[in-house]
Amino acid sequence: VGPEFLSKLGEVVGPQSLVTEPAGKWVYGYDNSRRHAEPAAVAFAASAEQVRRVAALCCQEGVSLVARGRGTGTTGGAVPIGGGVVLALERMNRILGTQADDRLMVVEPGVTNEEVQREAARHGFFWPPDPTSAAFCTIGGNLALNSAGPRAVKYGTVRENVLGLRAVTGAGEEIKTGVYTTKGVVGYDLTRLIVGSEGTLAVITEAVLKLTPLPEAKRTVRAIYSDVSAAARAVARIMARPVTPCALEFMDARAIDLVRLHGAADLPAHAGAMLMIEVDGPGACVDQAAGLVMEAATDEGLIEIAQARTQAQLDELWEARKALSPALRHVAPKKINEDVVVPVSRIPELMAGLEDLARRHAVTIVNFGHAGNGNIHVNLLVDPDDSAQMGRAERCLSDVFDLVLKLRGTLSGEHGVGIEKREFVQREIDPVTLALMGRIKAQFDPRGILNPGKLLPRQAAGAATASPDS
Ligand SMILES: Cc1cc2nc3c(=O)[nH]c(=O)nc-3n(C[C@H](O)[C@H](O)[C@H](O)COP(=O)(O)OP(=O)(O)OC[C@H]3O[C@@H](n4cnc5c(N)ncnc54)[C@H](O)[C@@H]3O)c2cc1C
């Protein structure tokens, strides 16, 4: 990237919106994976037209372009490992309109998830995707990673909650995908192709979000089991009943210990696993729904089951659940945090297999997550200064992925592939399918400028594009 390119880039976004000095660029070079790479420049886009012109310029000059929301992603997706331009979308943060009668909201990509929820709530709605990072992460990041949280078990992920997009391809062309309606079957479904594509196919410049009315009431149940397999059996039973919880969260014994540290002192000492089950709906129905779920949650390994009685108890439970990930990072700064998914009926086998792998590799594993989707956060606690332990952890992780795939699961439910899981993708997706994905990528991004080095394994990404891939 030379001065001439930077000067053209400055003409597109304006000199005030171009950062080329090292200190300013540094902070746009990392994400929550704690990886870092320095871009040649950071450009702040103010409009879809600027995004289009930046992409066209990068395509013409063969310069990498990495879209960035707020850098809270955990797999290195926003880290500019190929150098080039980081296109920061945080200033495109307007809510363009809310149409309550049509249950939709149109937004720019830089608005945060929390701002969307606040605006939706003013109209009596919510947007179902609810990552724990909602206060900071952007809708663009949510869409690019198909991010979700506890509510996905009932309301789905981003893919089920977005109607259409405006986006800019790697050739600098603006495209419009999807509809403003809740049905529509004209053309290929590019909306759901771009969602989850991690900024490798197009830069999203606008999204039509599908809203859901806020429930009138909620009930939260805490169920404690003697062991993990009893809790896992209960999850499969709950999910087979007609009342689908709006959250079905799981914690193993080590995660419960962390919750105790967070102040939940009333958890029994011999608790081997815990479920947090939430139901929502009309005020007149939720008590009955909670009763049905409690019945389904009853297993011979059940130690205790109760509804949260006060708002304070409820807040404490959710705070503890949401504090788990940061608390673990405090215990083990270099924890390996995976977000594997298996079919719900295979959770008991997953849990038994993880226990076995932890023993065999002598690695501490802490598990919690969105059990209703079979999406378990598997955390390998490691000390980066202990090279023998790091080696064991890497072998253990490889075995964890094999176990998940053997159970017909998938490597990631919400964090995405990014850099971290890129070379494992071919264990899940066969070569013919991967080659087709490479050709699709080449159609959207003929010079391979968009987020090189992410998502598709090297051969698939390289085969179909003249990628500046590292
Ligand atoms: C404390 C904490 C809790 C978290 N909890 C959850 C959770 O519960 N569930 C969950 O799913 N994730 C969670 N995450 C991960 C992260 O917050 C989400 O993945 C989030 O969606 C990322 O948004 P972002 O704006 O920070 O995106 P970034 O990190 O900036 O980017 C993520 C990816 O999206 C691409 N991208 C960003 N904007 C665009 C755009 N406009 N067009 C095309 N591509 C784009 C980037 O290139 C990159 O590949 C958590 C992270 C933290 C730090």
Angle between helices 387-406 and 347-361 (to 10 degrees): 160
Q: How far is the CA of 70 from the centre of ligand 1 (A)?
A: 7
Predicted local distance difference test score (pLDDT) of residue 264: 62
Predicted local distance difference test score (pLDDT) of residue 180: 97
pLDDT at 329 over 90: no
3-state secondary structure of 151: coil
Q: Which amino acid is at 7?
A: S
Percent above pLDDT 90 for the chain: 85
pLDDT band at 385 (very low <50, low <70, confident <90, very high): confident
Q: What does the DSSP 8-state code read for residue 450?
A: B
pLDDT at 355 over 80: yes
pLDDT at 468 over 50: no
Q: What is the mean pLDDT of the chain?
A: 93
pLDDT at 252 over 90: yes
pLDDT digits (tens, 9 = 90+) for 124-180: 999 999 999 999 999 999 999 999 999 999 999 999 999 999 999 999 999 999 999
Angle between helices 3-13 and 48-61 (to 10 degrees): 160
pLDDT at 409 over 50: yes
Phi, psi angles (nearest 5°) of residue 128:
-55, -40
Predicted local distance difference test score (pLDDT) of residue 469: 43
The residue to which tokens 């297999």 are assigned: 353
pLDDT band at 333 (very low <50, low <70, confident <90, very high): confident
Closest ligand 1 atom number to CA of residue 143: 21
Specify whether the CB–CB gap between 402 and 265 falls below 8 A: no
Which residues have CB under 8 Å from 353's CB, separation 6+? 403, 407
CB contact burial 343-370 (16+ within 10 A = b; e otherwise): ebbbbbbbbebbbebbeebebebbbbbb
The residue to which tokens 């419009």 are assigned: 176
Closest CA to 326 of 28, 72, 117: 72
Predicted local distance difference test score (pLDDT) of residue 470: 38
Predicted local distance difference test score (pLDDT) of residue 463: 55
Protein residue with least CA distance to atom 28, ligand 1? 71
What CA–CA distance (Å, rounded) separates 119 from 112?
Answer: 11
Q: Is 36 exposed, middle or buried (0-12, 13-18, 19+ CB in 10 A)?
A: middle
Segment 100-125 shows an average pLDDT of 98
Segment 168-193 shows an average pLDDT of 97
Q: How far is the CA of 216 from the centre of ligand 1 (A)?
A: 30
The residue to which tokens 């200033």 are assigned: 91
pLDDT at 383 over 90: no
Closest ligand 1 atom number to CA of residue 148: 11
Predicted local distance difference test score (pLDDT) of residue 467: 47
Q: What does the DSSP 8-state code read for residue 112?
A: B
- In terms of pLDDT, which residue wins out, 269 or 190? 190
The secondary element (H helix, E strand) that includes residue 354 is: helix 347-361
3-state secondary structure of 292: helix
pLDDT band at 328 (very low <50, low <70, confident <90, very high): confident
Q: How far is the CA of 56 from the centre of ligand 1 (A)?
A: 25
Predicted local distance difference test score (pLDDT) of residue 466: 47
Specify whether the CB–CB gap between 374 and 347 falls below 8 A: yes
Q: How far is the CA of 318 from the centre of ligand 1 (A)?
A: 21
- Residue 151, token pair as written in the block: 């509510």
pLDDT digits (tens, 9 = 90+) for 28-47: 999 999 899 999 999 999 99
Predicted local distance difference test score (pLDDT) of residue 325: 75
Percent above pLDDT 70 for the chain: 97
Predicted local distance difference test score (pLDDT) of residue 335: 84
Closest CA to 369 of 324, 316, 408, 402: 324
Q: What does the DSSP 8-state code read for residue 30?
A: B
Closest ligand 1 atom number to CA of residue 198: 49
User: Best of 54, 90, 145 to mutate for ligand 1, by most ligand atoms within 8 A of CB?
Assistant: 145
Protein residue with least CA distance to atom 39, ligand 1? 140
Q: How far is the CA of 72 from the centre of ligand 1 (A)?
A: 5
Closest ligand 1 atom number to CA of residue 73: 29
